[in-house]
Structure formats: C-alpha cells, structure tokens
Amino acid sequence: LKSISEKFYHHVREQLLQLLSSKNEYIRVNSRNFSCDSKGLSTSSHHRLIALVDQLYSIKTENKYLNYSTNLLLERTTHNPEL
C-alpha cells in the first residue's frame, strides 16, 4: 500500500519525464532546464549516472529514455568540476 506522498511523487515524476520527451521544443527545453537545475541532477559523474537510471527511467517513457537521458547527462557534464 503506497502512501499518498509516494503516489504523488511517482505521478509528478512521470509527468516530468513526459515533458522531457515532448514534441514541443519549448516545453522540452524548459523541462530539461528544470531537471538540470543545480539543486536537481548532481554534477558528480557517479551521482548523475545513478540519478539517470534510478529517477529518470520509466516504463511509460522507455522509448524516449535514451534521448532525454543522454541530453541530460551531456548537459550536466559541462558543469562537472571533476573535468
């Protein structure tokens, strides 16, 4: 039995993933910027990879996962202090 906050989290996550793969470029870019915010996806390579697999994969967006996850990974790499 899932709590309401857990259900809400999963619903919001699914919606964000749908936005990341939107056909509308404006929506796609803004949702990517939101996802790449410094408070979101880490600049650490290890943490970023874990987040991409753990938080950004969904069976509902599986067919577009490679596209948006690659874009997010590359975008955050430009801010990586490890390089």
| 17 burial level (CB within 10 Å; 0-12, 13-18, 19+) | buried
d(CA 40, CA 68): 15
Q: Residue 83: inside a domain, yes or no? A: no
Which residues span the domain enclosing 31?
4-77
Q: Residue 27: inside a domain, yes or no? A: yes
Q: Residue 64: inside a domain, yes or no? A: yes
Residue among 69, 44, 76, 39 at smallest CA distance from 54 = 69
Q: Residue 69: inside a domain, yes or no? A: yes
For the chain, what is the domain count? 1
Q: Residue 82: inside a domain, yes or no? A: no
pLDDT tens, per residue, the chain with 83 residues: 578 888 888 888 788 888 888 889 998 888 877 776 656 555 566 676 677 677 777 787 778 887 777 777 777 666 666 55
pTM beyond cutoff 0.85: no
